[in-house]
Amino acid sequence: MSSRTVCKPTRSVAALLAALMVALFAAGPVSGLSATAALAATPVPTEAPAATPAAAPPVAQAAPAAAPAPKAESTAASKDLEQKLDADVQADEADFVTTMGELRGKFRAAMGALKTFPSDLKAALDREEPYGEVDRWVMDGIGIALIGIVAGLVIAIPLERWAIGRPVGAPAGQQIETNTRIAFLLRRAAIWLVGTAVVLIVGLVVLELLDKGHDLEHGTALTVLMCFAGVRAAASMFRTVITPGLPEYRIVHLEDREARSLGRGLTLFAALFAVVVGMDFWLHLLQLPREPRHIASLVLSVLLLLLLVVLCVTERRSVTKALGWRSTGFAGWLARNWWAVAILYFVAAWAVRAVEVLLDARGGAELVVVPVLLVFAGLGLQGIARLVLAQIVRRSPELRVGGPAGRRLPDFRDLAYTASALAITLIALALLLETWGLSFARSGAGITAIKVGLICLFGYIVYESIRIGIERKLAMEGAIPGVVAVDLDGDQPLAAGQSRIATLLPLVRVFLLAAVLCVSALMVLSELGVQVAPLFAGAGILGLAIGFGSQTLVHDIMSGAFFLVDDAFRVGEYVDIGSAKGVVERISIRSFQLRHQNGQLQTIPFSGIKQITNFSRDWQVAKLPFKFPFGTDVEKVRKVIKKVGERLAGDPELGPKFLAPIKSQGVSEIDSSGVTIRVKFMTRPNDLFLVKRQAYVALTKAFEEAGLELSNNIVTVRIESDGKTEITEEVKQAIAGAAASAASAPPAGAEG
């Protein structure tokens, strides 16, 4: 039985074998004989349980007459299942022992082939001597390939330089726009790939023209030519992403020195990998036996592994900077420790490749190369996606929080970029797992994983769309998060209240985002095979219990809903609820917060509101009382008030704040100390305090300039006396106290 038919291990089994290979090889020939004996003995017990199901039908036919209990039938079925499971376990153990014995034999054969590799190679070369000397056709093949490569480069390089042109530098103090840089780099990469194709075509033409009819010579030249083309294409891909020599067009955060060093290392990796693949192909052309080819492949792959380890260690700081070492959480940890993860992966991939090569299974070289190619190919594909999305999704007006230099709010184009990057990452991850033998398209678990990934991606897009849309709407409405400014005693106007939509959108956002998360979670659970119907029933019972046990909470929520529907108040408005007053700073589902003008923050549940007085809606009227002495010319006072109103209405700063100008309402009250004349004007609610102070100052000054004296609270005390009785000091103090009390008392009907 050949090795190709005995065992075709999966990648997971191969990884396990790679971990146990050294320990099992140390067991020696005796353990090998024991394993062989055990293998010969294992099929015997596995056949015995197989006869049990055959004897079952007679018992089943006799069942109606005997009417056995259901418990007996269940016991028989359990025994049958147990016997089948035991048979499967024994078969798996036999396969494992067989594989380990074969692997040990292959390893010993490879170690023997390492000693005889020079003689085997010489024997293979001796079979192909058309000119009497081996060196001649080998060197001729290499020389023909070099001629073709040079001829191709002579044609391709000038064409590439002409097509690429000179890159346009960025203006002083500015950066080139990201999509412009990506477009230039992708165009240059496409031109380089076309140039590589030109080199390959010219080389093939030269190869055909100089062909002498010797198959190995032709194969040698073709191998060298294909390896060069592959290395040049890989170098083009690396240079596109790293961009050495063009820092103004570089996307990743690297210094030019770091970019050049990393580019050289990756190009050397591509060249060594081409040597590994080319050597394996060339030895196959020589019809070298399988064991020498395997040992040559393993030795060269060890060199490739060492180069990758050296690159990971020497370039760890550069790649960490490019990945964003300041990131937090898992992303930050991965950016700082990527090199250790990469080394572990490459060592595991090499071990799996060694096991597969020894077992003559598929090559396994893609385990090392595919991750590197996926990284750079994914970055290039993301660049193409950005350019396409830039033409499809329109850029929204730029909005920043905290001023021109503040944080820019993301828009839907940014979401499209992120979603495309996530989709490309998921595809790359699926391809990587495919190389390890975990086929998604041909397994139920894989299809389920794909569906779950799509649900999560779609849920993320919907979630971010809602969040971005609401945040941008809030920003355009002026609802910037932060402390609301309150100034009732200074010279600044009260902060303007937000619009109704700016008040309701934060609550709507919470409900919508919670709904998206719940629906996505239920869909994921459904795809994983979880029955979601009992969850709905349990949620209903839980909701009913919460409703009965938290009546106050329900009262708060329902009261708040009706207050918001009635548009009783908004964020940023000054309200008085009797027990507290201030500016509405935050609204939640069960309460809201008021910021008092002295700074205190008060939290009030909605159910505790009995009455709301809103000072920030539509307009407010101010009435200012002025008391003049008896005999004052009321008409003169009216004219002075009118002039002051006209002057303030024409003021460029205060004028726009008036909804109705300052005017006199005439005499509103007459008392023992004088005549009260009231002044009235109308402003927007948030401007009342500022305008009121300015109006007091302007009117008082105008009255003084017009010679109109404001009345004082003069108290006249009449004392009846016969002129003979002397007023004592105690009586004088009592009279002074009564007069002071009368003078300090506000006039009846006065309004502030």
Residues ≥6 apart with Cβ < 8 Å to 641: 662, 663, 664, 679, 699, 702
Q: Which of 219-228, 416-425, 576-585 has the lowest mean pLDDT?
A: 576-585
Does the structure show a pLDDT above 90 at 150?
yes
Instruction: Give the per-residue pLDDT at 478.
Output: 61
Does the structure show a pLDDT above 80 at 134?
no
Instruction: Give the tens place of pLDDT for each residue, 391-405.
Output: 888 777 766 665 555
Q: How confident is the model at residue 571 (pLDDT cuts 50, 70, 90)?
A: confident
Q: Which of 412, 426, 421 is nearest to 466 (CA)?
A: 412
User: Which is higher by pLDDT, 319 or 294?
Assistant: 319
Residues ≥6 apart with Cβ < 8 Å to 243: 185, 249, 250, 251, 252, 259
Q: Are strands 658-671 and 620-628 parallel, antiparallel or unpaired?
A: unpaired
Q: How confident is the model at residue 383 (pLDDT cuts 50, 70, 90)?
A: confident
Q: How confident is the model at residue 193 (pLDDT cuts 50, 70, 90)?
A: very high
Q: How far apart are the first and last CA of the chain?
A: 108
**Domain boundaries along the sequence of the chain:** 9-126, 362-476, 477-614, 620-744
Lookup result for tokens 């056709």:
137
Q: Treating both helix axes as pointing N-terminal to C-terminal, what angle do 11-25 and 70-126 enclose, rounded to 10 degrees?
A: 70
Residues ≥6 apart with Cβ < 8 Å to 610: 577, 578
User: Which is higher by pLDDT, 25 or 673?
Assistant: 673
Instruction: Give the per-residue pLDDT at 558.
Output: 75
Does the structure show a pLDDT above 80 at 149?
yes
Best-predicted range by mean pLDDT (394-398, 438-442, 451-455, 689-693):
451-455
- Residue 337's Cβ-side half-sphere holds a number of Cα atoms within 13 Å equal to 11
pTM over 0.95: no
Sheet hosting strand 658-671, strand order edge to edge: 620-628, 674-683, 658-671
Q: How confident is the model at residue 195 (pLDDT cuts 50, 70, 90)?
A: very high
Q: What are the angstrom distances between the C-alpha of 446 and each of 374, 443, 526, 528, 530?
A: 20, 5, 15, 11, 17
**Mean pLDDT over the full length of the chain:** 73
Instruction: Give the per-residue pLDDT at 21.
Output: 38
Instruction: Give the per-residue pLDDT at 44.
Output: 37
Q: Which of 230, 362, 346, 370 is nearest to 294 (CA)?
A: 362
Q: SS3 breakdown of the chain: % helix, strand, coil, rounded to 5?
A: 65, 10, 25
Instruction: Give the per-residue pLDDT at 198.
Output: 93
Instruction: Give the per-residue pLDDT at 516.
Output: 85
- SS3 state of residue 454: helix
Instruction: Give the tens place of pLDDT for each residue, 471-511.
Output: 777 776 665 444 344 444 444 445 455 565 666 677 777 87
Q: How confident is the model at residue 231 (pLDDT cuts 50, 70, 90)?
A: very high
Q: How confident is the model at residue 348 (pLDDT cuts 50, 70, 90)?
A: confident
In angstroms, the CA 201 to CA 195 distance is 10
Instruction: Give the tens place of pLDDT for each residue, 723-749.
Output: 656 666 666 677 677 666 665 655 444
Percent of the chain scored above 90 by pLDDT? 6
Q: How confident is the model at residue 464 (pLDDT cuts 50, 70, 90)?
A: confident
Q: What are the angstrom distances between the C-alpha of 341 and each of 335, 348, 354?
A: 10, 11, 20
Q: Compute the average pLDDT of residues 702-715.
A: 76
User: Which is higher by pLDDT, 57 or 328?
Assistant: 328
Does the structure show a pLDDT above 80 at 316?
yes
Helices (H), 214-255: 215-242
Lookup result for tokens 């009279």:
735
**C-beta of residue 555 within 8 angstroms of C-beta of residue 547:** no
Q: Which of 630, 649, 624, 643 is nearest to 712 (CA)?
A: 630
Q: Which of 618, 615, 642, 638 is nearest to 628 (CA)?
A: 638
Q: How confident is the model at residue 60 (pLDDT cuts 50, 70, 90)?
A: very low
The DSSP symbol for 746 reads: P
User: Which is higher by pLDDT, 158 or 530?
Assistant: 158
Does the structure show a pLDDT above 50 at 188?
yes
Class of domain 620-744: alpha beta
Q: Which of 745, 619, 624 is nearest to 683 (CA)?
A: 619
Q: Compute the average pLDDT of residues 57-62.
A: 42
Q: Which of 717, 623, 711 is nearest to 671 (CA)?
A: 711
Does the structure show a pLDDT above 50 at 629?
yes
Percent of the chain scored above 70 by pLDDT? 67
Q: Compute the average pLDDT of residues 61-85.
A: 58
